[in-house]
Amino acid sequence: MLLLTGLTFLVPALASVAAPIGEQMFTNPVVSHGADPWVIRWNSKYYFCQSRHNDGVRVCEATNLEDIGKGDWKSVWQPAQGMPYSKEVWAPELHFIQGKWYIYVAADNGDNSNHRMYVLEGTSADPTQPFILKGKIAAPEDRWAIDGTVLEMPDGKLYFIWSGWEGTENVAQNLYIAPMSNPWTINGPRVCISRPEHLWERHGLPINEGPEVLWHGTRLFIIYSASGMWTDDYCLGELAWNGGDVLNPKSWAKKPEPVFSSNTAVFGPGHCSFVMSPDGKEDWIVYHAHVHRGSGSVRDVRIQRFIWNADGLPDFGTPVSAGIPLARPSGEE
């Protein structure tokens, strides 16, 4: 996605220096405290989905991307106490699939080794209204799982992608994919499509997590987070689909270097989501970063425009420092 060369400075230049004089601007962070940001654009609105103090899920609606988290938060799901999914509610994602809203979220009973993925189903066409628990979503192996997302192919077939353990011990986190028969059911074995093999994927612990689907025409990418999120070396990696069976590991090629990583002013950028500007002309990444060097799990939420290279690969540039004026997404009111 991004080559750590001269091209890495294209995004800051595009976003700040090249902005027309007098154009309205914003600065990062757009949310002063938050992590694992999931934003989706629907019916001219942006919906920001977050865990609520790690014990529930909430959604906030915004007209402008830089205003996510500034409106009224709506609690859409609160788990019952004493259940396998009552604690450590992590990284919820809001998806509109086959005419209904679903939220995919990791949770456990207070013991991290019991983390599994769960599906919530919307009760309304409005994603800020309550969701109900549909059930656990798991491959036949039923291993530790977090950060689940859904890949919908052009033919309508669904696949679940997540971060998980190979066995029952926390040795490493790999990325897995499995077929789905409907938005809440996996109906086949999991397949590992990425392991933390490079040094930049192994700071703190060997970790691949936070997989996110990114389409560009017919080109498909999975952008994922690597290394321990508590380290300043947390970063984003890229898997590119070569057009084969998505369940075949050989259909995915890993870029050998990170595509979005720390610099002298921004630390631990990762766990992202992707949206378009209101006029559909610009691509934007939403991500979290450490509030300062060495802040560990204390993170904030930032947004930044990215571009596409002539070869069809995404170029995220380098993370722009907090406080630097950036042009708002095109087409905003």
Beta-carbon contacts of residue 293 (< 8 Å; ≥ 6 apart): 232, 267
| Active-site residue flag, 155 | no
Beta-carbon contacts of residue 89 (< 8 Å; ≥ 6 apart): 51, 52, 54, 55, 56, 57, 79, 105, 106, 107
Cα distances (angstroms) measured from residue 100 to each of 59, 222, 285, 293: 16, 24, 25, 41
Beta-carbon contacts of residue 288 (< 8 Å; ≥ 6 apart): 34, 35, 36, 37, 268, 269, 270, 271, 299, 300, 301, 302
Output the six-digit token pair for 253. 């090629």
Catalytic residue among 209, 238, 300, 315: 209
How many whole angstroms separate alpha carbon 126 and alpha carbon 107? 24
Output the six-digit token pair for 158. 């669904």
The DSSP bridge partners found for residue 41 are 46
Nearest to 147 by CA among 30, 231, 273: 273
| Beta-carbon-side half-sphere exposure of residue 77 (alpha carbons within 13 Å) | 32
| Active-site residue flag, 36 | yes
- The values of phi and psi at residue 147, to 5°, are 55, 45
Active site residues: 36, 209
